[in-house]
Amino acid sequence: MIQLIETINTAVNNFVWGVPAMVCIIGVGLYLSIRTHFLQIRKFPYAIKTTLGRMFRKRNASDGALTPFQAVCTALAATVGTGNVAGVAGAIAIGGPGAVFWMWISAVLGMCTKFSEVTLAVYFRETNKNGELVGGPMYYIKNGLGKNWQFLAVLFSIFGVLTVFGTGNATQVNTITASIDSALLSYNLISKESLGTFNLVLGIILAFLVGMVLLGGIKRIGQVTERLVPFMAMFYIILALGVILLNFKRIPRVFYSIIYGAFNPSAFTGGVVGSIFLSMQKGVSRGIFSNEAGLGTGSIAHACADTKKPVKQGFFGIFEVFTDTIVICTLTALVILCSNVPIAYGKAAGAELTILGFTSTYGSWVSIFTAIAMCCFAFSTIIGWGLYGARCIEFLFSSKITKPFMIIYSMVAILGATMDLGLLWSIAETFNGLMSIPNLIAVFLLSGTVVKLVKEYFQGEGSSKVNHK
C-alpha cells in the first residue's frame, strides 16, 4: 500500500513541480508583468520606499487586524524558512551554479505575481464573525470570479489544509530537532542514546510554544512575527556577509560561474550537469518553493493588514520576494560558492552543504549559531503556516473550527520531533504545489482587476509625492 502511495505521489509531484507547472508559474508571472508594464521593475524604487517607510512607522492596528508591517512579517515568517538554506543548496548541487541565475529570473517575475496576489487578497477580503479580516486565494476566487468558480476556492483550501501539517509543521520541527541534536552532539553535550527522550521533550515544548502563539489570535501572531522575522533575517544576513567578505577574492569568479553556468552548466560541474534545462528547472522550482510566488499563501497574511489600499499593500509582495530570494537565497548561494567547499554535483544536498560553507570559513563553533538561525527559520514557518491552515479550514467550515484545528496543528510538532517523516515530506510538497493550480487560474482571470487597481492608484495617491497614511 505504501509503495502504491509513493508511486502515485512521485508521479503527481513530478508533474506539479515539473515542466508544465513551471511553465504556468513563469507564464502567469510574465503575463502579469507585461499587462502591468513590468511594474516590479519600473516602480521598484517606489515600492521599496513605500514599504520601508511604512515599516518604520509606529502604529496600532484595529481589532482583528495586523499592521501592514506585521502582515509582511507574518508572510515572510512562512516564506523565509529552511528552503532558503536547504533548497538553495539542493538547487546548486543538482543544477550547478547557473541554477542561481534562473532563481533570480523566477524572482523578478514572481515579484509581479505576488504583488497581484496581495492586491487581490486585500481588495476581495471579508470580515468574519469574530471581526477579523480574512482573505487570500479562496476569497478572491469566491468574490472575484463568482459561484461558477467556487470549486477552485474549495480545492485551494483543501490542498492548503493537507499541506500545513507536513510542509508547515512536521518537517520544520524535524529541522529544528536535527539542528539542535547536531550542535549538542558536536560538543558531546548529549549521548546518541538520549536523543529519543530529548527530542520528545523538545517536541512537547515546541507544541506548547506554537499553541501559545496561534491560540493568542491574529494579534499575538503579528506581535511574535514582527520581532522574530527581522531578528532572524539580520542574524543570518550578518553571518553570510561575513563569509563573503572573508572570501571576497573569489566573488568575481563566483558571479561568472552563476551567469555563464546558466547557459553552460558543464563548464563548472565537470560535465555532471550538462543540461541547461536541468539548471533552469532547479533554479526556478527552488525559487518558487522559497518565495511562494504563485502559490497564493502569502496573500492570506497580507489580507489581515489594517489598510484600505490594496495596491499599496501589494508593494509588500514585491518587497517580500526581493528579500526572500534576491537577498537571502543569493547570500546562501554565495556562502556555498565563495567558501569553495566541495560540491558533489548531480547528487542531492541540503542544509548540511550550507552549514559546511559557514564552518569551513569560521570554524566548527559557528554550528551553534547556524543551529539558532535554522531554529528561528523553522519556528517562524510553523507560525506562518499555522495561520494559513486556520484560514483555509475556516473557509471550508466555519471560524468555530479554527481553535480545535490550531490545537491539533500544535500537537503535530511532537510527531515531527520524534518520527522519521520520510514519505510525509514528499506528499506535503506535492499538495503544496497543487495549491498553485487554482491560484494561478484565478490570478490570470483577475489580471484585469489588478491592472484597473494599479491604474487608479497611480492616477490618485501614487501620482503624488506626498505620503498619505
Average pLDDT over residues 415-431: 72
Is residue 463, in this structure, part of any structural domain at all?
no
Question: What's the average model confidence in pLDDT over 264-275?
Answer: 67
Q: pLDDT: is 322 or 287 the higher one? A: 322
User: Is 425 inside a domain boundary?
Assistant: yes
Report long-range pairs for 189-193 (Cβ below 8 Å, ≥24 apart).
Answer: none
Q: What is the pLDDT of residues 158-213, one digit of tens each?
A: 999 988 887 788 878 887 887 788 778 878 888 888 888 888 999 999 999 999 99
CA–CA separation, 373 and 197 (whole Å): 24
Residue 434's pLDDT is: 85
The answer to whether position 465 is within a domain reads: no
State pLDDT tens for residues 116-140.
999 999 999 999 888 888 999 999 9
Domain span holding position 181: 35-55+64-453
Q: Quick one: cell of 9? A: 505521489
Residue 200: burial class (beta carbons within 10 Å; 0-12, 13-18, 19+): middle
Question: Residue 433 in contact with residue 13, Cβ under 8 Å?
Answer: yes
Q: Which of 56-70, 120-134, 290-304, 451-465 has the lowest mean pLDDT?
A: 56-70
Do the domain assignments include residue 5? no
Q: What is the tens place of the pLDDT at every residue in 362-393?
A: 988 887 888 888 888 888 888 989 999 999 99
- Cβ atoms of 44 and 258 within 8 Å: the answer is no
Residue 226 in domain: yes
State how many domains the chain has.
1
Whether residue 10 lies inside any domain: the answer is no
Rg (CA), the chain: 21
Assigned domain for 15 exists: no
Question: pLDDT, tens digit, for every residue of 214-229?
Answer: 988 888 888 888 888 8
CATH value at residue 391: 1.20.1740.10
The predicted structure's pLDDT at residue 247: 92
Highest-confidence range of 250-254, 294-298, 305-309, 377-381, by mean pLDDT?
Answer: 250-254
pLDDT of residue 121: 96
Residue 310 has pLDDT above 90, yes or no: yes
Query: What global pTM score does this model have?
Result: 0.88
Band the pLDDT of 343: cuts 50, 70, 90: confident
Grid coordinates representing 220 are: 499575538
In a domain, 27, yes or no: no
